[in-house]
Amino acid sequence: MITLHTLASGSEGNSLLVSADGTHLLVDAGISARRIKQSLALLGLTPDDLSAILISHEHTDHTAGLATLLKHHPIPLYATGGTAFYLRPRLPQLDSCLRPVSPGSSFPVGSAQVTVFATSHDAGESVDYRVDCGDAAVGILTDTGFVPEPAAAALTGVDLLVLESNHDVEWLRSGPYPYSLKQRILGQRGHLSNEDAAAFARRMAECGTRCIVLAHLSRENNTPQRALAVMETALSGLDVTGKLVLVDINQRDEWWINYPVYQAHLKGAAALIAVQSGGYGEIDDEALNAQDIAGPEDAPAFSISTILFTSDVKPQLPAIIGLRNSSPMYFVFKLAIMIYFNS
């Protein structure tokens, strides 16, 4: 199984951790080494537990903590030759830990198989990565002005996709950025807009991707709400027959949980996972709390409103699982449960 933790995302720093059966891959190190260590500690890990560091490109928001991290921990570093060229003046120890990669290549790291693909960004030789382990796969696509076809091909079929949704085009055009910076962001070697991200997300969803995490949102030219709204519009017409549907819901402020359950059932969904940010099933944070959901006999469902989920509990489909989004394991359990349902 693969899990993914986002340590930081945005213009001020990017880093995430992909773990696959004991293999831990740090993808980019755009925050301080201290923050990376603190984040790993929350997961019960240290830098010495890292199997490798995968670098997408040399920009500071992806490499800020790299020098200090490598100074104290000789971790294998995978990067393209173009990226290494620009990193070398900043990293005296680079060549001792560098493992050069090229777009289109694939290599094993422990239990994981890593695939490299080119992106289109104003950097030396930018790339992103797909990580496979057994039947599970995650993909990462950020810092690209458009989606090159080799990238789309490499990402097809991943279970979880971390996808850049950087800016709203009109907000950017009318915002305070200098004209030159606006043109850079909007260009073919810039960043994906909400609309471009949504279009690609739909394409990937139609190919089987079950979970999409939006990343690298601009603080000045975007909001999570705006990016999500554009994404929801693009995905609203998808055929969910026989598929697993994920819904984020708050029963206190939005609709009652029966509605999305029954709507998913009517449209032929195999099951529905509801991530509950609020609701009446939240009885005790430390207990496994089941909540009955009234519905027709042909659409049985129930809810579990805590992150405690073990191999002893496998609900009959169709079913509904709730996770608290205040938990640091929120996104990890989204992916873990999706993979679990298909096992």
**pLDDT computed for residue 271 by the predictor:** 66
**pLDDT computed for residue 283 by the predictor:** 43
- Of residues 343 and 251, more confidently modeled: 251
- Taking each helix axis as running N to C, give the angle between helix 194-206 and helix 224-235, from 0 to 180 degrees, rounded to the nearest 10: 40
Mean pLDDT, the chain, integer: 81
- Rounded Cα distance between 259 and 63, Å, is 45
pLDDT tens string 252-282: 555 566 666 667 777 777 766 665 555 544 4
pLDDT tens string 299-340: 444 444 433 333 333 333 333 443 333 333 334 344 444 444
**pLDDT computed for residue 251 by the predictor:** 56
pLDDT tens string 180-211: 999 999 999 999 999 999 999 999 988 888 88
CB within 8 Å of 256: residues ≥ 6 apart: none
pLDDT tens string 46-78: 999 999 999 999 999 999 999 999 999 999 999
What are the CA-CA distances from residue 80 to residues 77, 104, 141, 150, 192 (Å)? 10, 11, 16, 16, 22
Residue 287's pLDDT band (cuts 50, 70, 90): very low
**pLDDT computed for residue 236 by the predictor:** 76
What are the CA-CA distances from residue 149 to residues 46, 200, 210, 282 (Å)? 37, 11, 21, 44
Residue 11's pLDDT band (cuts 50, 70, 90): confident
Other beta carbons within 10 angstroms of residue 120's beta carbon come to 18
- Rounded Cα distance between 285 and 290, Å, is 12
